[in-house]
Amino acid sequence: MSESGIAALLKTVAALRDPENGCPWDIEQDHQSITDCLIDECSELLQTIDRGDMDHMEEELGDVLLQVVMHAQMAKEAGHFDFDSVCREINAKLVRRHPHVFGEGNIKDSAALLEQWEAIKAAEKKRGPAESGRFKDLPPRLPALMFAQDVYKQIVKQKMETGDLLNREVIEREAAEVEAETLGTRLFEIAAACQERKLDPEALLRRHAQGIVDALEKK
């Protein structure tokens, strides 16, 4: 029987990381040093998805998978976990969070499914280590626009009082009245204006969103 693709990949990455006979570059890497690689590979995969480019999607999925395998191999070398345990963990989570598929229940409505998902997540977090902060679930390395969206999502979800930090009336009015294409135009114009002034729109938006987070965390 021929070796499976994942078994071959795991063996190859382990060989690349071998201290004596591996690749010098791969041996030198650690979790932190290859984080930018993961971001780059995810961006390239998203590009193929946006383009509907199935010819290259397979390759880009492989590049993303390589990053997962590399991190798992590093963790295995340090005695923490390995690729198999990563797979088992995510599989168990999927089964646990879909009781309507793998257990009892027959939920078909998307809204009810999301409510159930959030309830299961909340129960899991209560059993885990205590975390502080109202925005504890936000990944710090998200692109600024996604970070800002998630900050606002948490504000709405937790019904936070924002005071002068946000003009909720303007936000709700524009959400109801302004066409999606117009909002896209505004975003582009803001990016262009930042370029004209030699400003970094990512940094400006992240700093503003983080300022809102910091102010609300103090309340």
DSSP state of 2: P
Q: Is the pTM of this model over 0.75?
A: no
pLDDT at 130 over 60: no
Quote the CA–CA distance of 90 and 67 in Å, as a whole number. 16
More confident residue, 126 or 68: 68
The superfamily CATH assigns to domain 5-93 is MazG-like (1.10.287.1080)
Q: To which residue do tokens 């902060």 refer?
A: 133
Max mean pLDDT range (9-18, 112-121, 122-131, 137-146): 9-18
Per-chain mean pLDDT for the chain: 90
Amino acid identity for residue 127 in this structure: R
Distance CA 53, CA 38 (A): 20
Long-range (24+ apart) CB contacts under 8 A made by 163-166 are 165/212, 165/215, 165/216, 166/212
CA distance linking residue 52 with residue 26, whole number of Å:
32
Indicate if the pLDDT at residue 139 is higher than 80: no
At a CB cut-off of 8 Å and minimum separation 6, what does 21 contact?
Answer: 15
Structure-block tokens of residue 69: 């395998």
Region 141-162: mean pLDDT is: 89
pLDDT in tens, 6-47: 999 999 999 999 999 999 999 999 999 999 899 899 999 999
Q: At what angle do helices 201-217 and 180-196 cross, to 10 degrees?
A: 110
Q: What is the dihedral of CA 43, 15, 92, 157, to 10 degrees?
A: -30
Output the DSSP codes for 91-144. HHHHHHT-HHHHSS-----HHHHHHHHHHHHHHHHHHS----STTTTS-TTS-H
Residues of the chain with CATH 1.10.287.1080: 5-93
